[in-house]
Chain A
Amino acid sequence: MYPRPFRYHRAQSLQEASAMLADLGAEAKVLAGGQSLIPLMKLRFSSPAHLVDIGFIPSLSYSKRQNGAWRLGAMTRHAQVESSDIASTIPIVHDCAAGIADVQVRNLGTIGGSLAEADPTGDWAPVLLALGASVLVTSRSGERTLAIADFIRDAFTTSLAADELVKEIVVPLPSANSGGAYLAYKRCAPVYASAGVAAQVTMRDKSVCSQARIVLGAVGLTPIAVQQAEAILNGKEIREKEIEQAAEAAAAAADPQDDMRGTADYKRHLVRALTRQALQAALRRSRGERVELSHHYA
């Protein structure tokens, strides 16, 4: 299968890419790792007249700790994140990076590309929202920083202006006594998740939850932060009852659709079970326990 013909433009810097996007207009798209864009082009769901390739720009792949935050370059491949220091320090990042599709896709797909695509089933957005991350975007006219919730506007829609590109993802260092976990349910490795849940908790005096974040992926047009679950958990000692209530709140907040991955009811059931498990793993990790997690595969 061939995409429709397009003209190819190789940018040497993000500034040049921004200028190219401005010149080429609405018919241009950015090519990062291509792991979503190329399948869409082959199926002719997307047929841009121009591609601006940012894959040859030097030094857009990095993860470094600086000024109280982890900073990830937009072109950092999922596989690079998986084996980076941020993943060994923040386990929820490892859960996410190591669980995206399969090895081949993780070797090419990028964290910046995944966020900029804003696919409702994308893995990074719910995890980064749970971590309170932000996105540094750039264009010829300057840079600005957007919280994830402001960056992702709708399904496949971000706040990026036509000539703006993602430059860096900024993840604040999680507080002491915090832990997180991301779990998804997938029919098999290469496909998108049927449902996913990111849980991040910060504990006070080892047992009382001072802050909880529960974010759902793949069961709405954008990631869903379950505020009711957070209200249930905040300030409480978390026992079975609270976990059960949070899982019920998550299932109620999910907004899934019937599709080839299952009925809406089935996905709500998945959300309930995944929330329970992600929350339990997050709590154990907040106590410093080492918990190996893997997504569930049908």
Chain B
Amino acid sequence: MPEPIPKVPIQITINGRNRAAEVEPRTLLVDFLRDELELTGTHIGCDTSFCGACTVLLRGDCVKSCTIFAVQADGGEIITVEGLEKDGKLHRVQQAFAEHHGLQCGYCTPGMMLSACQLLTKTPRPSEAEIRKAIAGNTCRCTGYQNIIKAISAAAAAGA
């Protein structure tokens, strides 16, 4: 029997709540979120760093949570799709996706919205080209991109 691999203690603030855990080093952030914390709003699509369904915000920057170990996020702040709504009120990006039919099957939606959140924080009034570039790492297999772009434009206008 090989020696067991020591677990690593981590502390991460997730959606404003401090979470401490001991994780196996190979635990991917997405699996920590979904399996340990039961935050299943973050999706696993391709699991190969292509599709962006697993996108979350780490210190305000969107990252693919299937391509980062939970230990690397130690000490960090994470926002998942569950953290967008505040006091029963949808985030303006969520509201805009609902109003502009920015989703069809909904699988890519959490990742799309979090990529939109980083964009709007750094570029409050993005051009269409900037929106397209910001979601280039998010794949919608319903190919509903036109309405996603409309929704992000509307969210930008709503925040201005």
Complex CA distance for A181 and B75, rounded to whole angstroms: 39
Interface residues of B (CB under 8 A from A): 5-6, 8, 24-26, 28, 31, 47-52, 55, 58, 61-64, 66-69, 71-72, 74, 115, 118-119, 133-134, 136-138
8 closest Cβ contacts across the A-B interface?
A: A102-B137, A189-B136, A8-B25, A107-B61, A104-B64, A104-B137, A5-B5, A102-B136
* B-side contacts of A191, CB under 8 Å: 50
| A190: Cβ under 8 A from any B Cβ | yes
Within 8 A of B (CB), among A105-152: 105, 107-108
Complex CA distance for A37 and B55, rounded to whole angstroms: 18
Additional A-B contact list (14), CB under 8 Å, known A7-B5, A38-B49, A79-B61: A2-B26, A3-B26, A4-B26, A7-B25, A8-B8, A8-B69, A35-B67, A53-B72, A103-B115, A103-B119, A103-B134, A104-B52, A105-B67, A190-B50
Tell me whether A103 and B5 are in contact in the complex, defined as CB-CB below 8 angstroms, given that A34-B69, A42-B47 are known contacts: no
Name the one of A31, A35, A103 contacting B49, with C-beta atoms under 8 angstroms.
A35
* A-side contacts of B25, CB under 8 Å: 5-8, 51
| A1: Cβ under 8 A from any B Cβ | yes
| A60: Cβ under 8 A from any B Cβ | no
* A-side contacts of B8, CB under 8 Å: 8
* A-side contacts of B31, CB under 8 Å: 2
* B-side contacts of A39, CB under 8 Å: 48-49, 67
CB distance from B20 to the nearest CB of A (A): 17
* A-side contacts of B24, CB under 8 Å: 5
* A-side contacts of B61, CB under 8 Å: 79, 107
A2 close to B62 (CB less than 8 A): no
Complex CA distance for A191 and B49, rounded to whole angstroms: 9
Most buried by B among A79, A108, A188, A191: A108
Q: Residues 172-199 of chain A: 1 if any B CB is under 8 Å from the residue's CB, otherwise 0?
A: 0000000000000000111100000000
| A101: Cβ under 8 A from any B Cβ | yes
Question: Which range holds the interface residue count of chain A?
Answer: 20 to 34
A7 close to B6 (CB less than 8 A): yes
Name the one of A8, A31, A51, A104 contacting B62, with C-beta atoms under 8 angstroms.
A104
A6 close to B62 (CB less than 8 A): no
B48 close to A43 (CB less than 8 A): yes
* B-side contacts of A103, CB under 8 Å: 62, 115, 118-119, 133-134, 136-137
Complex CA distance for A7 and B72, rounded to whole angstroms: 14
15 contacts between A and B (CB under 8 A): A1-B48, A2-B28, A5-B26, A6-B5, A34-B67, A38-B69, A41-B26, A51-B25, A79-B61, A101-B137, A102-B136, A102-B138, A103-B137, A190-B51, A190-B136
Tell me whether A107 and B48 are in contact in the complex, defined as CB-CB below 8 angstroms, given that A7-B6, A34-B68, A53-B71 are known contacts: no
CB distance from A81 to the nearest CB of B (A): 14
| A55: Cβ under 8 A from any B Cβ | yes
CB distance from B32 to the nearest CB of A (A): 12
Tell me whether A104 and B47 are in contact in the complex, defined as CB-CB below 8 angstroms, given that A2-B28, A6-B25, A34-B72 are known contacts: no
* B-side contacts of A51, CB under 8 Å: 25
* A-side contacts of B58, CB under 8 Å: 107
B48 close to A42 (CB less than 8 A): yes
Complex CA distance for A43 and B51, rounded to whole angstroms: 16
B49 — nearest CB in chain A belongs to which residue? A39
